[in-house]
Amino acid sequence: MPWLRRSFLLAREDTKNLNFDELNRIMQQKLSVIIKNLSKKIDPSLPSILAAHVWVSGASIGSEKSMTIGQEHVLLPGTIANPAFDYIALGHIHRHQVLSKTPPLVYAGSLERLDFGDENDDKGFYLVNIRADNKAGKKQINYSFQPVNGRRFLTINVTIQPQDMEPTAKIIDEISQYDITDAIVRLQIYFSQENEGQILDTEIRNVLKDAHHYTITKEIKRQERLRLNAYSIEEITPMAALEAYIADRKFSKSYSRLLLKYGGELIKEKTSTE
């Protein structure tokens, strides 16, 4: 049973003006009739499998998040789970999963990871055995997931703190914790304004050369503006701003006195020359 397109109904005069919910209801009805008619043609002595390209409600999605959720019709499990079939093999959702055991309602999922939405998903196929049980008068159905080595997607997150003296070395050390060979790598670096300009892209790219493909994204964590009582830092005197900054950093008393001394001299010198 192939994917049923809404355009089929939108091209008809009696259904072209229906809204999404109404179209979805009609599609459910039509698919239910199709499945019922197919089930009538089944020879009970033979294995019967329904292969359907459909989105069933309750399925857990992976890379399908990139699709326009809410714009595709979704079937209720009861619409397709006809017990006349020994096994129902589903396609469309990329994550393998079993939605029902009686009858088996199973998504095999995609054989390859398609994007980072599939990063943590196992990929493979289902091996299905259907055997006649003459004594019980019904069939024995067994199915098991067979994993395959699909392409690997790998996300590496690195957070650089303001006190990190060698941010590039820290990033390289974090990358070395992973096997990136032939993987599709997404390196995400989070750092403060203090570290801006200290991260050496050339060295990082050299370490990532064994990956099949990689991207590097950087996000600056900007600190909230310091406030003293009800005033922002721009609304108070330079000396008061320095005192507030030192107090916020919680330096030692001796170091704070040193900063205040030389900071005060610099502010005084700067003020006298303006």
Q: What are phi and psi of 139, to 5 degrees?
A: -95, 155
CA 38 to chain centre: 37
For residues 116 and 157, the answer to whether their CB atoms sit within 8 Å is no
Q: What is the pLDDT of residue 172?
A: 96
The domain spans of the chain are 7-147, 153-221, 228-272
**Which CA distances in Å does 130 have to 19, 48, 146, 154?**
42, 9, 17, 38
For residues 107 and 122, the answer to whether their CB atoms sit within 8 Å is no
Which pair of tokens denotes residue 129? 């055995």
Encode the chain (274 residues) as per-residue pLDDT tens digits: 888 776 666 667 667 677 767 877 888 888 888 888 989 999 888 899 999 998 898 888 866 654 545 566 778 888 888 889 999 999 999 999 999 998 999 999 999 998 898 899 999 999 999 988 766 667 889 999 999 988 899 999 999 988 888 999 999 999 999 999 999 999 999 998 778 788 999 999 999 999 999 999 999 876 555 555 555 555 678 888 888 888 877 778 888 888 888 888 888 887 776 6
Q: What is the pLDDT of residue 19?
A: 73
Q: Specify the pTM.
A: 0.67
Residue linked to tokens 């941010």: 167
Statement: 7-147 belongs to CATH 3.30.360.10: no
SS (H, E, C) the chain: CCCCCCHHHHCCCCCCCCCHHHHHHHHHHHHHHHHHHHHCCCCCCCCCEEEEECCECCCCCCHHHHCCCCCCCCECHHHHCCCCCCEEEEECCCCCEEEEECCEEEECCCCCCCCHHHCCCCCEEEEEEEEEECCCCEEEEEEEEEECCCCCEEEEEEECCCCCCCHHHHHHHHHCCCCCCCCEEEEEEEEEHHHCCCCCHHHHHHHHHHCCEEEEEEEEECCCCCEECCEEHHHCCHHHHHHHHHHHHCCCHHHHHHHHHHHHHHHHHHHHCC
